[in-house]
Amino acid sequence: MNVKLENRVQHYRTVWMEGDVVRMIDQPKIPHSFEILELHDYKETGMAIRNMNIRGAGAIGATAGYAMAQAVLHAPKDDYGKLVGYVEEAAGYIRSMRPTAQNLFYAVDKVLDAVYGADNPEAAVISAIKTAQGIADEDADSCKRIGEHGEKLIKDGYRILTHCNAGWLAFVDYGSALSPIYVADEKGKKVFVYADETRPRLQGARLTAWELGQQGIEHKIIADNVSGWIMQLGMVDMVIVGSDRIAANGDVANKIGTYEKAVLAKENRIPFYVAAPTSTIDLDSKSGKDIPIEERDEDEVLYVRGYCNSTGKMEKVRVSPKDSHALNLAFDVTPAKYIKGIITEKGIIKPNKKSIAKLFK
Ligand code: MRU
């Protein structure tokens, strides 16, 4: 998407690779500064996933694909067997970076299959780079299509609630939940967005608000506990969220707090949609119970990070008693019964086993 910098507008993807260097927009710096991070090997790129310099299912997937390509580029080239051993070790490392986003595993497996399909080191390098690039391009293309399908659900004047950030920063380009909103805006529909702030890492208050501002979409950030009340007051026409992993039965894992928005939406008869590319669907997870839920460092809850006007720097401030501990679960699962539809690049489907299986035929 286009980013408005001080005196110019430039198109950026969230993550890309040049030679053997992976470059990405450094997300913890947004909205206070716009910086590009450079990662020189698969270990550095993997740590950027773990530390959430890049986050969001599609962006994590593309980054994992590039990290695998870096591993293949740096693997020993004198013997194909040695190369495969090196790349398999890298695959294990990259897989261990974050557990919930299906796109990470999708990308690692795709590049690994490309390496297995080659029979010599040179062919493995060419195939791995092509596959990693293909994963990133496919992600951007799928999100563009999600926008075109999802836009049809949005009526002029709609007030839409979203949770976390499932915009272009969470993918290679366009986004999932925000993509239909961007297309609706392009088509001249008036859209207003309520962005849940999304404690503890505030992806809504920082990233979604920044993206919407860049796109010129009217919005307000709301504290996470406001949504139920504004739904009851009739101030929300529709909810669209993204997903990190969708089970074969239509249960959806997404940022912690999504489940309660879905229950509240149903209670208030507001349509609740999930937008995600098919690379987020995991047929091996029969239901949401099979989806691993990430638990992150308690400090993310015990402290808040933000830009300090007086020092001009990002600062970390403790908000809770010194001796208190926190439970920091990063995702939850919304049962399929709360979801009106899943917006994919192949169309809008019902969240059930039959419709999901059909996507892969
Ligand atoms: O922890 P994050 O920021 O990687 O989680 C991302 C989300 O859960 C978003 O809600 C998003 O909808 C799913 S990824 C596009």
pLDDT in tens, 223-235: 999 999 999 999 9
330 and 246 in a common domain: yes
Q: How far apart are CA 8 and CA 50, in angstroms?
A: 32
Q: Give distance in angstroms: CA of 55 to centre of ligand 1.
A: 7
Q: Which pTM was predicted?
A: 0.97
Does the beta carbon of 176 lie inside 6 Å of ligand 1?
yes
What band does 349 get if pLDDT is binned at 50, 70 and 90? very high
Given a cut of 90, is residue 143 above it in pLDDT?
Answer: yes
* pLDDT level of residue 27 (50, 70, 90 thresholds): very high
179, 143 in Cβ contact below 8 A? yes
Residue 242 domain boundaries = 153-358
Q: Cβ of 278: how many Cβ atoms within 10 Å?
A: 17
- The residue out of 84, 111, 144 marking a domain boundary is 144
Instruction: Find out whether 289 and 335 touch, Cβ atoms under 8 Å.
Output: no
Residue 255, both tokens: 């940022």
Helix H or strand E encompassing 241 = strand 238-241
Q: Rounded to 10 degrees, what is the CA torsion of 171, 172, 173, 174? A: -20
| Residue 127, ligand 1, Cβ within 6 A | no
Q: Do residues 166 and 199 both lie within one domain?
A: yes
Examine the domain organization and report whether 215 and 329 are in the same domain. Answer: yes
DSSP string of 317-330? EE-S-TT-----B-
Sign of CA dihedral 326, 327, 332, 335: negative
Q: Cα(72)–Cα(228) distance, rounded to whole angstroms?
A: 49
Q: Which CATH number do you get for residue 37? A: 1.20.120.420
Cα(254) to ligand 1 centroid in Å equals 6
- One domain, residues 118 and 165: no
Answer yes or no: do 308 and 188 share one domain.
yes
139, 224, 244, 332: the active-site residue: 244
Of the three residues 144, 167, 184, the one that is the final residue of a domain is 144
End-to-end distance of the chain based on CA atoms, in angstroms?
Answer: 32
From the CA of 171, how far away is ligand 1's center (Å)?
10
Q: Whose CA is closest to atom 8 on ligand 1?
A: 255
Nearest CA, atom 7, ligand 1: 255
Residue predicted with more confidence, 309 or 354? 354
Q: Which of 144, 162, 193 is the last residue of a domain?
A: 144
- Mean pLDDT of the region 40-54: 98
Q: Ligand 1: distance of its center to the CA of 243 in Å?
A: 6
Tens of pLDDT, residues 313-345: 999 999 999 999 999 999 999 999 999 999 999
User: How far apart are the C-alpha atoms of 82 and 50, rounded to whole Å?
Assistant: 27
Domain identity same for 237 and 170: yes
Domain count, the chain: 2
Are 19 and 100 found together in one domain?
yes
* Closest ligand 1 atom, residue 258 Cα: 10
CATH number for the domain that contains residue 309: 3.40.50.10470
The answer to whether residues 140 and 157 belong to one domain is: no
339: Cβ contacts below 8 Å, ≥ 6 apart: 250, 252, 262, 272, 273, 274, 351
Active site residue 79: no
Residue 216: pLDDT band (50, 70, 90) is: very high
Q: Which pLDDT band holds residue 7 (cuts at 50, 70, 90)?
A: confident
Instruction: Convert the pLDDT of each residue in 160-187 to its tens digit.
Output: 999 999 999 999 999 999 999 999 999 9
Confidence check: pLDDT of 6 > 90: no
Ligand 1 contact via 170 beta carbon (within 6 Å) = yes
Mean pLDDT score of the chain: 97
Claim to verify: residue 189 and residue 139 sit in the same structural domain: no
Residues of the chain with pLDDT > 90: what percent?
A: 98
Indicate the pLDDT class of residue 281, thresholds 50, 70 and 90: very high
Residues 127 and 21 in one domain: yes
pLDDT per residue as tens digits for the range 55-92: 999 999 999 999 999 999 999 999 999 999 999 999 99
- The whole-number average pLDDT for the span 199-222 is 98
In eight-state DSSP terms, residue 304 is: E
110 and 188 housed in the same domain:
no
Strand ranges in 20-127 using DSSP code E only, listed in sequence order: 21-25, 36-39
Dist. CA 283–CA 287, nearest whole Å: 9
- Give the closest residue (by CA) to ligand 1 atom 12: 242
C-alpha to C-alpha distance for 170 and 18, rounded to whole angstroms: 20
Q: Looking at the structure, tell me whether residues 81 and 135 fall in a common domain.
A: yes
